[in-house]
A and B are shown apart, each in its own frame.
Chain A
Amino acid sequence: MMTPKMSKMSVAVSAAMISTAMMATSVAASDAESLLGSDPIRIVMPYGAGGSTDITARIIAANAAEYCGTRIDVVSMPGAGGMEGLQFVADAEPNGHTILMADYSATITQTLTEDTDWEVEDWVPIVHLTDWKPTVYVKADHPIQSIEDWVEMAEAEPNTLVFGHADPLSLVHLPLVLLEMETGIENVHLPTTGGGETRTMILGGHAHLGMTLPPSIVSNVEEGEVTAIGVFADERSDVLPDVPTFQEAGYDVSFEAPLLVYTYSDVSDEIQQALSDCIMAGLETETAQTMSSQASAGLNNVQGRESAQQIYRDTTVRVEEVLAAIEQD
């Protein structure tokens, strides 16, 4: 039950929070402040509001502002398949006040497959937030209930199982392509508008298998509506600890998707470092960690520039390999 005392406090807290959002915070002097100045920082997110990336961006905005010395705004720019958001960051003044937050589809895959003004190397990751683990799932009463069942059935009747995934070549589609190369199985690839539509298709029996990220199906798995059969990662997912990886099942396919914060390459090294430091400091706070665990955002092992850039290079190589293989087909 809600006590009057607590509610009063939360009213006060909320009022304070809303007003902080409205004006620049003047707390915590740091290196970041002198380097970055008092203009607001914009985190551009090339997706619509309300998704996993959006929640993570807003956790950063709410917690890192104090350490970066200025207000942080989250700007959602889903236009032109996300390309407009990237263009906006690329065109911005190189003062570190306009940064990008995205998975590899926008910065690597689309840059490689489309005619863009930038190269993959123009995006410099400064914070490695988390790794998403693409997960394959089916309806609970479907005959397929494991990776083995799937491969067996797909081998027996090629091109009959309908597999729902979001956009083609997205992070919930490339692992499927890799697995098909590894095993030789063939499925009917059904692009959807995203995780929500994929789930409708699975639950409604319109598609046989689907791929998504673990936090979005935890509730359905716990209620016994769907079964998660395998994870394309080196280790199992924290939120779905009972679901095996494809490696455990004997298929050497793993394709985790790092969620990164980037600056454009023309931003100076000092500013990159200052941004990286203040965002990480903000995410280490208790409030940020509580928000993260409530949202299953996985921000408990945030890494700095070195790790971010290493994983970005590795991911680029992998995406290039898959794209080359697709082209050969």
Chain B
Amino acid sequence: MLDLVIEASALAFHPYVLMYVMLGVLLGITLGAIPGLSGDMAIALLLPFVFFLEPAMAMGLLVGIYKGGLFGGSIAAISFGVPGTPGAAATSIDGYQAKLKGKPSKALHTALYSSVIGDTTSDLVLIFIAVPLAAVALSFGPIEFFALYAFSLMLIAALSQGMVAKGLAVAAIGVLLAMIGRDPITGSARLTFGMPGLSGGLSLIPVLIGIFAISEVVVQGAKLWRRKVDDLMDDVAEQASLLQGYDIRKDQLSWKEFKATLKATYIGAAVGTFIGALPGAGQSLAAFMSYGLAQRFSKTPEEFGKGSLEGIASAESGNSATAGSTFIPLFAFGIPGSATAALFGAAFILMGMTPGPSLLNDNTEIIYALFFTLIFANLVNLVLGKILLPYYSRIAMIQPGYLIPAVFILAIVGTYAANNSVVDVWVLLFAGVLGVTLRLLKFPLAPLVLGFIIGPGAERALRQSMIMGGGDWWVLVKSPIAIGFYVAAVALILLFTFALRAKK
């Protein structure tokens, strides 16, 4: 065993491998920060080349890109309110508000630390308890998945305090938007109004960026314009002085602030690790669920949505904590639980290693080396992040006159690049209009996005359950895990209703 560890660490800590990891993290952070581009794209592009690399180096490069990308997504989310990756959508809720209050550096550092903590937790779980967790993940069939989705929807729909009805209403709109496209069971087109471009449904990235970023840009632009028209120059001057007078030294994350976010980070780490291990659940769900739970257990839940560092920490840690555990089903059964896992699976295959139960036995050394690399990449992420964040913080404080058009263009180009699709650009603009409308009517936006993210999975799981149960609704409570989720959902809602009343 000791020999093995020594040999594996010799592989993993070879200077070239370390170099590839650093290169990968840098590339990942950069790509993740650009909306629409993601680490996954770079990994896909580099796939054929892993064949020509030593496995340890190839792994180092890909792991670096992946982890850098997970954190990088939060940079655009905080700086511009544009989630750079779907996983960063929840981060943008509080992150962007914190930036508007002149605290981009605090927000970005919170995101970095929670991302690294969440990721490391997840890696340790992958390394030490992959097998038992994999067995739990397998027991999630359609019935259990539906219960999980119902639980998260209930948790998040009530996110915005005092707006439960509005929250549920927009969540329903999100689910409805997600139903456009192909019926998951019969495969026929529905709600497409005869438009072939809609037959595959709305893609996640344009909906996400449209709802959050385009609507924000429009609102900001309108504010700017109105101020000019009304000649309220003193107000503009005040805003401008906040930007011009930005002093990064006054915007440092203190130890006390960091400690206050730790509970949220741990919640995110636990939730993210678990959700990451479930095939098909995804980073966005992990981030939103962590956010919802962290708010429930926070001492200052009213700060959530207004720039709470805890909000950022929970979302970002939940998002990043899927990084290690998403490999669990891949290593244990060869099942790619996410798009990234599928790409790593392809990379393993090209290196002559078959993902699945025999992976570890046949390639013990290299997999142990990969474990070291996973942990090391987190350190690189932390160090590179520390170096880069002051610059990103300053970029975040660019004057809106320059920023607004730049974000608009970035959103359109990024959306097109993600799927090479013009339809997606129209969806983006449509989602932007919807976002503006909802903002004007004071509806919360996060439940809509969550409804959109989990809608397809929830519908599929429900209908698969019904097929398996021969149309009998009781099938939904035939699993102890499912019952557990329903009980937990009801208990949480009751608990917080009473807690809220007691406060009043």
Instruction: Give the interface of A toward B (CB within 8 A).
Output: 1-2, 6-8, 10-11, 13-14, 17-18, 21, 48-51, 54-55, 58-59, 61-62, 74-84, 87-88, 114-116, 162, 167-169, 188-193, 196-197, 199-201, 203-207, 216-220, 222-223, 225, 287, 291, 294-296
Residues of the B chain whose Cβ atoms lie less than 8 Å from the Cβ of A49 = 40-41, 44, 47, 339, 342-343, 346
Residues of the A chain whose Cβ atoms lie less than 8 Å from the Cβ of B182 = 81
B214-265 interface with A by 8 A CB criterion:
none
Contact of B419 among A21, A55, A78 (CB under 8 A): A78
- Contact: B200 with A225, CB < 8 Å? no
Subset of 21 A-B contacts with CB under 8 Å: A17-B52, A49-B41, A54-B346, A76-B44, A84-B197, A84-B200, A87-B196, A114-B189, A168-B185, A188-B468, A191-B187, A193-B280, A196-B337, A197-B279, A197-B280, A200-B138, A201-B141, A220-B333, A220-B334, A220-B356, A296-B349
Q: Does B350 contact A (CB under 8 A)?
A: yes
Q: With the chains together, A190 CA to B51 CA distance in Å?
A: 37
- Contact: A55 with B349, CB < 8 Å? yes
B357-384 interface with A by 8 A CB criterion:
357-359
- Contact: B196 with A83, CB < 8 Å? yes
Contact of A55 among B41, B45, B346 (CB under 8 A): B346
Q: With the chains together, A1 CA to B279 CA distance in Å?
A: 34
**Distance between B176 CB and nearest chain A CB, rounded to angstroms:** 19
Given contacts A50-B345, A206-B468, A295-B350, contact A14 B356 (CB under 8 A): no
**Distance between B363 CB and nearest chain A CB, rounded to angstroms:** 12
Q: With the chains together, A60 CA to B420 CA distance in Å?
A: 21
Count of A-B residue pairs with CB < 8 Å: 198
The 4 A-B residue pairs with the shortest CB-CB distance, nearest first, are A219-B356, A80-B200, A206-B141, A50-B342
Q: Does B352 contact A (CB under 8 A)?
A: yes
Given known contacts A50-B345, A79-B424, A219-B358, what 6 new A-B pairs fall within 8 Å (CB)? A10-B52, A18-B49, A51-B346, A55-B350, A77-B420, A294-B51
Residues of the A chain whose Cβ atoms lie less than 8 Å from the Cβ of B279 = 196-197, 200
Q: Does B211 contact A (CB under 8 A)?
A: no
Interface-centre pick from B57, B198, B355 (highest chain A CB count, 10 A): B57
B140-163 interface with A by 8 A CB criterion:
140-143
- Contact: B198 with A80, CB < 8 Å? yes
Q: With the chains together, A91 CA to B345 CA distance in Å?
A: 33
Contact of A79 among B14, B139, B419, B460 (CB under 8 A): B419
* Contact digits for B9-49, partner A, Cβ 8 Å, 1 yes 0 no: 01100101000000000000000000000001100111111
Q: Does B56 contact A (CB under 8 A)?
A: yes
**Distance between A229 CB and nearest chain B CB, rounded to angstroms:** 19
Residues of the A chain whose Cβ atoms lie less than 8 Å from the Cβ of B470 = 188
Residues of the B chain whose Cβ atoms lie less than 8 Å from the Cβ of A116 = 196
Given contacts A17-B49, A197-B280, A219-B354, contact A79 B200 (CB under 8 A): yes
- Contact: B280 with A219, CB < 8 Å? no
Given contacts A21-B49, A222-B358, contact A200 B187 (CB under 8 A): no
- Contact: A196 with B336, CB < 8 Å? yes
Residues of the A chain whose Cβ atoms lie less than 8 Å from the Cβ of B40 = 49
Closest chain A residue to B356 by CB distance? Answer: A219
A contact patch SS = helix
Q: Does B335 contact A (CB under 8 A)?
A: yes
Given contacts A199-B334, A220-B356, contact A50 B16 (CB under 8 A): no
**Distance between B367 CB and nearest chain A CB, rounded to angstroms:** 14
Residues of the A chain whose Cβ atoms lie less than 8 Å from the Cβ of B300 = none
Q: With the chains together, A168 CA to B185 CA distance in Å?
A: 7
Q: With the chains together, A54 CA to B187 CA distance in Å?
A: 23
- Contact: A48 with B342, CB < 8 Å? yes
Instruction: Give the interface of B toward A (CB within 8 A).
Output: 7, 10-11, 14, 16, 40-41, 44-49, 51-54, 56-57, 137-143, 181-182, 184-187, 189, 196-201, 203, 279-280, 329, 333-337, 339, 342-343, 345-346, 349-352, 354-359, 419-421, 423-424, 460, 464, 467-468, 470
- Contact: A83 with B352, CB < 8 Å? no
Given contacts A77-B419, A197-B279, contact A216 B185 (CB under 8 A): no
Q: With the chains together, A291 CA to B350 CA distance in Å?
A: 6
- Contact: B349 with A294, CB < 8 Å? yes
Q: With the chains together, A167 CA to B183 CA distance in Å?
A: 10
Residues of the B chain whose Cβ atoms lie less than 8 Å from the Cβ of A75 = 420
Contact of B53 among A8, A14, A59, A203 (CB under 8 A): A14
- Contact: A79 with B423, CB < 8 Å? yes
- Contact: A13 with B339, CB < 8 Å? no
Given contacts A17-B49, A190-B464, contact A200 B329 (CB under 8 A): yes
Contact of B357 among A13, A167, A223 (CB under 8 A): A223
**Distance between A296 CB and nearest chain B CB, rounded to angstroms:** 7
Contact of A80 among B41, B184, B196, B339 (CB under 8 A): B196
Residues of the B chain whose Cβ atoms lie less than 8 Å from the Cβ of A225 = 333, 357
Closest chain B residue to A77 by CB distance? Answer: B420
**Distance between B177 CB and nearest chain A CB, rounded to angstroms:** 16
Q: With the chains together, A10 CA to B137 CA distance in Å?
A: 38
Residues of the A chain whose Cβ atoms lie less than 8 Å from the Cβ of B329 = 200
Closest chain B residue to A58 by CB distance? Answer: B48
- Contact: B52 with A78, CB < 8 Å? no
- Contact: A204 with B199, CB < 8 Å? no
Q: With the chains together, A17 CA to B358 CA distance in Å?
A: 31
Residues of the A chain whose Cβ atoms lie less than 8 Å from the Cβ of B186 = 168
Q: With the chains together, A60 CA to B47 CA distance in Å?
A: 12
- Contact: A162 with B468, CB < 8 Å? yes
Given contacts A81-B200, A203-B333, contact A6 B48 (CB under 8 A): no
- Contact: B141 with A219, CB < 8 Å? no
Contact of B467 among A81, A190, A203, A294 (CB under 8 A): A190
Q: With the chains together, A82 CA to B182 CA distance in Å?
A: 11
**Distance between B235 CB and nearest chain A CB, rounded to angstroms:** 44
- Contact: B54 with A10, CB < 8 Å? yes
Given contacts A55-B47, A223-B357, contact A2 B339 (CB under 8 A): no
- Contact: B51 with A291, CB < 8 Å? yes
Q: With the chains together, A77 CA to B421 CA distance in Å?
A: 8
Residues of the B chain whose Cβ atoms lie less than 8 Å from the Cβ of A8 = 16
Given contacts A55-B350, A88-B420, A204-B140, contact A50 B355 (CB under 8 A): no
Closest chain A residue to B201 by CB distance? Answer: A80
Q: With the chains together, A59 CA to B357 CA distance in Å?
A: 26
